[in-house]
């Protein structure tokens, strides 16, 4: 028997201005996208924007449903749009942002477990890491270099 330590790493930015210019552009588009979220139940609007390796930007936002579990997160709307329309083009970067109609979101909103698992699958499939930046409405921005940092010891189809 042995015990191992698994480490993960995060880069923390103090403001949008500190981000690379192409990521700042993704932030703008993610903010635009969260404006058309359909979130009448949570009042929590999430926008995601991802950049493909050919420079194309795909965005998505959360879409809720009166049958609550039928709703879907912004990240999965965006990645499934990309996977469905551009199945052979790799995803390089993803930005996630959120605001609430009820209070200020001033800390980074990190992707939920189901979104991490979904994004991990596409990262594995394309054999290239996806950078993930996540933020609130204001405050710091967190970045991970890979889904592996967000989902250590992930379930993988290789195990099946």
Rounded Cα gap, residues 5 and 99, in angstroms: 35
Structure tokens at 23: 């990521």
Chain residues that interact with ligand THU, rule: CB under 6 A: 39, 42, 44, 46, 62, 64, 71, 73-75, 111-112, 115
Provide the minimum distance between the beta carbon of 109 and ligand THU in the complex, in angstroms, as a whole number: 7
Instruction: Closer to ligand THU by CB, 89 or 154: give it.
Output: 154
- Distance of closest approach, residue 84 Cβ to ligand THU, in angstroms: 18
- Give whichever of 12 and 112 is closer to ligand THU, judged by the CB atom: 112
- Residue in 75, 127, 131, 137 annotated catalytic: 75
Residue 75 is among the residues annotated as catalytic for this protein: yes
CA 21 to chain CA mean position, Å:
18
Report, in Å, the least distance between residue 71 CB and ligand THU: 5
**Which residues sit opposite 143 in a β-bridge?**
11, 133
Closer CB to ligand THU, 65 or 138, in the complex: 65
| Catalytically active residues, by annotation | 75
């Amino acid at each position: 028997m042995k015990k191992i330590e698994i480490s993960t790493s995060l880069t923390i930015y103090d403001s949008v201005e500190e981000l690379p210019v192409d990521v700042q552009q993704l932030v703008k588009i993610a903010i635009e996208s969260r404006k058309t979220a359909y979130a009448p139940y949570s009042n929590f609007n999430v926008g995601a924007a991802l950049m493909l390796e050919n420079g194309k930007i795909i965005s998505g936002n959360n879409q809720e449903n009166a049958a609550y579990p039928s709703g879907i997160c912004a990240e999965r709307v965006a990645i499934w749009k990309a996977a469905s329309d551009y199945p052979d083009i790799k995803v390089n970067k993803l930005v996630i942002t959120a605001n609430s109609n009820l209070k200020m979101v001033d800390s980074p909103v990190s992707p939920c477990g189901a979104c991490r698992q979904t994004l991990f699958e596409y990262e594995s499939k394309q054999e290239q890491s996806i950078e993930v930046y996540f933020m609130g409405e204001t405050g710091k921005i967190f970045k991970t270099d890979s889904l592996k940092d967000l989902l250590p010891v992930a379930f993988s189809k290789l195990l099946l």
